[in-house]
A and B are shown apart, each in its own frame.
Chain A
Amino acid sequence: MAKSNNDFFIDFEKLSRNRTILLVGRNWAFIFLTFMLILFSFLGKNFFSLKNFNNIILGVSSLLLLASGETFVIISGGIDLSIGFVMGFVCISSSIIMRDLNAAGYSPIISMMTGSLIGLLLGLIPGFINGFFVAKLRVPPFIATLGMWGIANGLAWRLCEGFPVGFLPLQVRDVGNAYLAYFSPKKGFSFLIKPELTEREDILNLVKVIPIPILLITFILIIFAFILSRTRFGQHTYAIGGKVDAAIRAGINVPLHLIKIYIISSFFAAAAGVLLVFKLNMGVHTQYTSSYELFAIAAVVIGGASLTGGKGTIWGTLIGVLLIGTLNNGLMMMGLPIFYRYIATGCILIIAILIDQFFPELVHRE
């Protein structure tokens, strides 16, 4: 490249030799998250509290699952646009099964188990089809998964006719909203079982530690983070995203691997769908369910993955998701209307893309 062309731009190579900038550039999302936490603690009323952090993490729990699956796809150099609607489809299917089994007189536990299990299994199918089209028939991922986006949406709507699926066993809600431990100044510690409180003051003072859904998600994330960073499967994923020709020459069965990756992504979407049923005690699917995949992709990119593939981590994605959630929650607690929060999320995304664009070796030096 001619040197003169670069005169207009900042010399990033020189910049990336500076240690401080290197450190900031690599961890900008984490630093920004910490900065936000401090800022909102001063500006937002009641922001800094365990209860609010529970709200934040519970609020982004579905997004976290979706984004983790998407991380695999994006690292492999693809994209999965279908996850939002696959989540909606699974949410509707498994809630219908739970509702009908419960109505037919089966015990709540059997209804819930069967509904969740079939939901999770159903979620594997879109992933397999996506992977098959991308890997075997060489359909661009954008198109193949957009096709599945439409199919999942149509199926979900056909099943629920545009209305939430209610009448689920009440235990669904109790499971989805349980915490590992409770502490009440009046009644002391208790595990899993929520103490009975009647006074509003006492209810507001009840300390709840670690939501059960978050505990499960953490467990899943640790497993998949291990798979991505420590196993051959993970290495192959990075290899395919980095240089697909090299991956083929190295003897990796690329089509098979891609199919597996799309199944993982779809499985995470299904898990998010089942989680939604437990959280909401209802099956819901609306056209806006498809805004989820865009925020999932945004979170993955903010977390340091590159849309061209080969880069990214589950922990980065976790930071990305938390950043979006905290930003939304914090601005909400400051009383900023929703319109400005969209603008803020957009700005953060642009910053992430800029850093990825201009500091590639700085952010992702392996």
Chain B
Amino acid sequence: MKKFIIVLLLICLVLSFASTICAAKLRFAFMPGIADPFYFTMEKGAKAKAEELGVELLVGEYPKAWGPEYQVPILKALVARGDIDLLFTAPTSTEALIPVLKEIHDSGIPVITVDTYLGDGDYTKPSNYNFPLAFIGTDNFLGGQVVAGQLALLLGGKGKVFLENTNPDVSSVMGRELGFRAGIKIFPDMELVGVEYCLDLQETAATQVSAALQKDPDLEGVFGVNVFSAQGAHQAVVTAGLEGAIKIATWDATETLIEALKRGEVDLILAQMPAEMGALCVEWGVKHLTEGAEIPRKVIPGFFVFTQENVNDPEAQQYIYK
């Protein structure tokens, strides 16, 4: 029995060496934040780029909910195999993921954070979270400004607008809010008449926008920062019977929202570029590992704006999250 175990261990040892030697090509791991179309699209972009560059891509199981308690166990299992050359991941907490990713970094696996970041996302200054190679993702503040600008364009640069936000304790949507506030200020004839938080409850969003409409019957535009607040805003507009008269802008080109745009329920969608983000992670990772290239610490792939006019264009279809 003892001999058998020793032989078995030896075989395992040899096999594991063999597998390391065989793996001449790079092996990257992607750990998504949550099971949703945004990250599915990111994976697709990364996969395409990985095939093009001859990189093997491992994808961690998609967590069913957002948060380190769901993500960390899967992440640990993913890197436990020990033969990964680079990890790119969307940390689900700016704080809780610092020690976890630091440990992975210290074990010799370079880390890129994508979509979300550690600390305040600035990896250039000295801190305990500046070890990742780069942050590749959206600048929510910039996106908020873009929405403000596009909404102003739709409204002819004047009128009252309202912001329906979700959670005052989430950095991404607060970034959008601050950007939107700053963007609206640029237009002297536009006024932000109110900001509400619906906690991702569509019914609450509808109630809040209804009240805003009641307070300011000449309201012309609403920015709903995600699907729940935008659909709630649309709900309120339908209840008031003002479809079309009030422009609704929103964020993230999910199929649900694209359908809403086609139906005329929303008027403007700011799409992030998740596929682009995934591809950039793979591309920069390969450059760094094979050529020793210096990666910019912050990479922002930009936005695509969907409107009624371009939603059916063939070249716009690639930006829909699927």
A163 to B257, CA, bound (A): 11
Interface size class of B (residues with CB under 8 A): 35 or more
A279 to B205, CA, bound (A): 12
A284 to B201, CA, bound (A): 8
- Which residue from chain B places its CB closest to the CB of A45 in the assembled complex? B215
Quick one: which of B192-218 are within 8 Å of A by CB? 194-197, 199-204, 206-208, 210-212, 214-215, 217
A162 to B239, CA, bound (A): 26
Q: Decide if B206 touches A333 in the complex (CB within 8 Å).
A: no
Q: List 28 A-B contacts (CB under 8 A).
A: A45-B215, A46-B214, A49-B214, A52-B211, A55-B207, A55-B210, A55-B239, A59-B206, A59-B207, A59-B210, A157-B65, A161-B64, A163-B36, A163-B37, A164-B228, A166-B255, A203-B245, A204-B240, A276-B203, A280-B206, A280-B235, A282-B202, A282-B256, A284-B202, A332-B208, A333-B215, A335-B194, A335-B215
Which residues of A sit under 8 angstroms from B232, Cβ to Cβ? 280
Q: Is A257 an interface residue when CB atoms closer than 8 A count as contact?
A: no
A167 to B162, CA, bound (A): 26
Q: Is A299 an interface residue when CB atoms closer than 8 A count as contact?
A: no
Q: Decide if A329 touches B245 in the complex (CB within 8 Å).
A: no
Q: Is B104 an interface residue when CB atoms closer than 8 A count as contact?
A: no
The verdict on A162 contacting B34 (CB below 8 Å), with A55-B210, A197-B241, A206-B241 known, is: yes
Q: What's the minimum C-beta distance from A55 to chain B, rounded to whole angstroms?
A: 4
- Which residue from chain A places its CB closest to the CB of B194 in the assembled complex? A335
Q: Decide if B259 touches A338 in the complex (CB within 8 Å).
A: no
Which residues of A sit under 8 angstroms from B215, Cβ to Cβ? 44-46, 332-333, 335
Quick one: which of A36-76 are within 8 Å of B by CB? 44-47, 49, 51-52, 55, 58-59, 62
Q: Decide if B203 touches A280 in the complex (CB within 8 Å).
A: yes
Quick one: which of A69-126 are within 8 Å of B by CB? none
The verdict on A164 contacting B65 (CB below 8 Å), with A55-B214, A59-B207, A197-B241 known, is: no
A173 to B241, CA, bound (A): 12
Q: Decide if B202 touches A164 in the complex (CB within 8 Å).
A: yes
Q: Decide if B245 touches A200 in the complex (CB within 8 Å).
A: yes
A65 to B105, CA, bound (A): 52
Q: Decide if B211 touches A203 in the complex (CB within 8 Å).
A: no
Select which of A161, A282, A289 is within 8 A of B201 by beta carbon.
A289
- Which residue from chain B places its CB closest to the CB of A325 in the assembled complex? B207
Q: Is A194 an interface residue when CB atoms closer than 8 A count as contact?
A: yes
A174 to B245, CA, bound (A): 19
Could you say which of B36, B195, B201, B203 has the most chain A C-beta atoms within 10 Å of its C-beta?
B203
A residues with a Cβ closer than 8 A to B are 44-47, 49, 51-52, 55, 58-59, 62, 157-158, 161-164, 166-167, 170, 173, 177, 194, 197, 200, 203-204, 206, 276, 279-282, 284, 286-289, 291, 328-329, 332-333, 335, 337-339
A328 to B256, CA, bound (A): 30
Which residues of A sit under 8 angstroms from B263, Cβ to Cβ? 170
6 smallest A-B Cβ distances: which pairs? A59-B207, A166-B256, A286-B200, A55-B210, A288-B199, A332-B211
Which residues of B sit under 8 angstroms from A286, Cβ to Cβ? 200-201, 228
Quick one: which of B232-266 are within 8 Å of A by CB? 232, 235, 238-242, 245, 254-256, 259-260, 263
A166 to B259, CA, bound (A): 9
New A-B pairs, 15, CB < 8 Å, besides A55-B214, A284-B201, A286-B201: A52-B214, A59-B204, A59-B210, A158-B64, A161-B35, A161-B36, A162-B35, A166-B256, A170-B263, A203-B242, A203-B245, A291-B199, A329-B207, A332-B196, A332-B215
- Which residue from chain A places its CB closest to the CB of B257 in the assembled complex? A166
Q: Is B140 an interface residue when CB atoms closer than 8 A count as contact?
A: no
Q: Decide if A288 touches B202 in the complex (CB within 8 Å).
A: no
Q: What's the minimum C-beta distance from A345 to chain B, rounded to whole angstroms?
A: 13
Which residues of B sit under 8 angstroms from A62, Cβ to Cβ? 203
- Which residue from chain B places its CB closest to the CB of A157 in the assembled complex? B64
A332 to B216, CA, bound (A): 12
Q: Is B227 an interface residue when CB atoms closer than 8 A count as contact?
A: yes
Which residues of B sit under 8 angstroms from A166, Cβ to Cβ? 255-256, 259-260
Which residues of A sit under 8 angstroms from B195, Cβ to Cβ? 337
Which residues of A sit under 8 angstroms from B239, Cβ to Cβ? 55, 58, 177
- Which residue from chain A places its CB closest to the CB of B241 in the assembled complex? A203
Q: Is B231 an interface residue when CB atoms closer than 8 A count as contact?
A: yes
Q: What's the minimum C-beta distance from A349 to chain B, rounded to whole angstroms?
A: 18
Q: What's the minimum C-beta distance from A218 to chain B, rounded to whole angstroms?
A: 19
Which residues of B sit under 8 angstroms from A328, Cβ to Cβ? 207
Q: Decide if A164 touches B201 in the complex (CB within 8 Å).
A: no
A47 to B211, CA, bound (A): 9
Q: What's the minimum C-beta distance from A211 to chain B, rounded to whole angstroms?
A: 9
Which residues of B sit under 8 angstroms from A161, Cβ to Cβ? 35-36, 64
A58 to B214, CA, bound (A): 14
Which residues of A sit under 8 angstroms from B240, Cβ to Cβ? 203-204
Q: What's the minimum C-beta distance from A242 to chain B, rounded to whole angstroms?
A: 35
Which residues of B sit under 8 angstroms from A287, Cβ to Cβ? 65, 200
Q: Decide if B206 touches A279 in the complex (CB within 8 Å).
A: yes
Which residues of A sit under 8 angstroms from B207, Cβ to Cβ? 55, 58-59, 328-329
Which residues of B sit under 8 angstroms from A194, Cβ to Cβ? 241
Q: What's the minimum C-beta distance from A43 to chain B, rounded to whole angstroms?
A: 12
Which residues of A sit under 8 angstroms from B242, Cβ to Cβ? 200, 203-204
The verdict on A279 contacting B235 (CB below 8 Å), with A59-B206, A200-B245, A332-B208 known, is: yes
Select which of B196, B217, B254 is within 8 A of A204 by beta carbon.
B217
Which residues of A sit under 8 angstroms from B202, Cβ to Cβ? 164, 280, 282, 284
A47 to B35, CA, bound (A): 42
Which residues of B sit under 8 angstroms from A279, Cβ to Cβ? 203, 206, 235
Which residues of B sit under 8 angstroms from A337, Cβ to Cβ? 195
Q: Decide if A162 touches B214 in the complex (CB within 8 Å).
A: no
A246 to B34, CA, bound (A): 53
A164 to B250, CA, bound (A): 15
Select which of B197, B211, B255, B256 is within 8 A of A329 by beta carbon.
B211
A147 to B227, CA, bound (A): 29
Q: Decide if A333 touches B211 in the complex (CB within 8 Å).
A: yes
Could you say which of B35, B241, B254, B256 has the most chain A C-beta atoms within 10 Å of its C-beta?
B241
Which residues of A sit under 8 angstroms from B36, Cβ to Cβ? 161-163
A161 to B228, CA, bound (A): 15
